[in-house]
A and B are shown apart, each in its own frame.
Chain A
Amino acid sequence: NAGVTQTPKFQVLKTGQSMTLQCAQDMNHEYMSWYRQDPGMGLRLIHYSVGAGITDQGEVPNGYNVSRSTTEDFPLRLLSAAPSQTSVYFCASSKGTSGINEQFFGPGTRLTVL
């Protein structure tokens, strides 16, 4: 099992550009989520999904879109990048949707917006 994979590992964007961060898991997990990590602020939830076709907003959803067309994939789209979106982004997945199981995290994408 590859677990949770994310691409790219690093990305530099200019203000106003758009891009998609890819996330995939091969554990057949129902729940997937996206977080951003900023110094001193821990991880903040951007969006999450409890299954194909079902997504919802987390704490900091503005400026980001998600979709879940398959169980395996959960891409995160930045519509018009801003310097405030400079961060490290983590995708995670978990078995079930009750929250009693631990989350498995990908290696992260380090994004810089100039």
Chain B
Amino acid sequence: AQSVAQPEDQVNVAEGNPLTVKCTYSVSGNPYLFWYVQYPNRGLQFLLKYITGDNLVKGSYGFEAEFNKSQTSFHLKKPSALVSDSALYFCAVRDMGRDTGGFKTIFGAGTRLFVKA
């Protein structure tokens, strides 16, 4: 079965500094990987995804992620953090469904990012 791990419950960074939110995965076959962000009292919003192609994926709000197959990692990065980036970040991987086809998405436990002014 597919799984995702986010080893840090919380990441603290100063505004203007680079940030990294870590994600590792375990899949059979080619991974479909996603990052979502959740602001307080809101639903999740899509940031970026890796399906195939370039290992460096660019997404919304200046975020990017690097797919590393040998390390089975998909870390989220941003060159210069903003206070408004403070939120809960989820890494996710697609797992295939069963008899009805379709798919399931397996989410990590989430990492809370605090950006201090």
State the A residues within 8 Å of B (CB). 4, 31, 33, 35, 40-45, 48-50, 54-56, 58-59, 90, 92, 97-100, 102-108
**Contact: A45 with B45, CB < 8 Å?**
no
Contacting pair A40 B109 (CB below 8 A) = yes
Instruction: Evaluate contact between A105 and B101: CB separation under 8 angstroms.
Output: no
Closest CB of chain A to B105's CB: distance in Å? 7
Partner of A56, one of B34, B45, B97, B106: B97
Residue of B nearest to A97 (CB): B102
Smallest CB separation, A14 vs chain B (Å):
25
- Is the pair B104, A102 in contact by a Cβ cutoff of 8 Å? no
Number of interface residues of B (CB under 8 A): 29
A108 & B43 in contact (Cβ 8 Å cutoff): yes
A31 shortest CB reach to chain B, Å: 6
* B102 shortest CB reach to chain A, Å: 4
Residue ID in chain B nearest A4 by CB atoms? B43
Is B107 in the interface zone, CB < 8 Å from A? yes
| Contact flags B18-34 to A (C-beta < 8 A → 1, else 0) | 00000000000000101
With a CB–CB cut-off of 8 A, which chain A residues contact B51?
A: 100
A42 touches B109 (CB 8 A): yes
Chain A residues lying within 8 Å of B96, measured Cβ to Cβ, are: 99
**Alpha-carbon distance A10/B93, docked complex (angstroms):** 29
Closest Cβ of chain A to B50, distance in Å, is 10
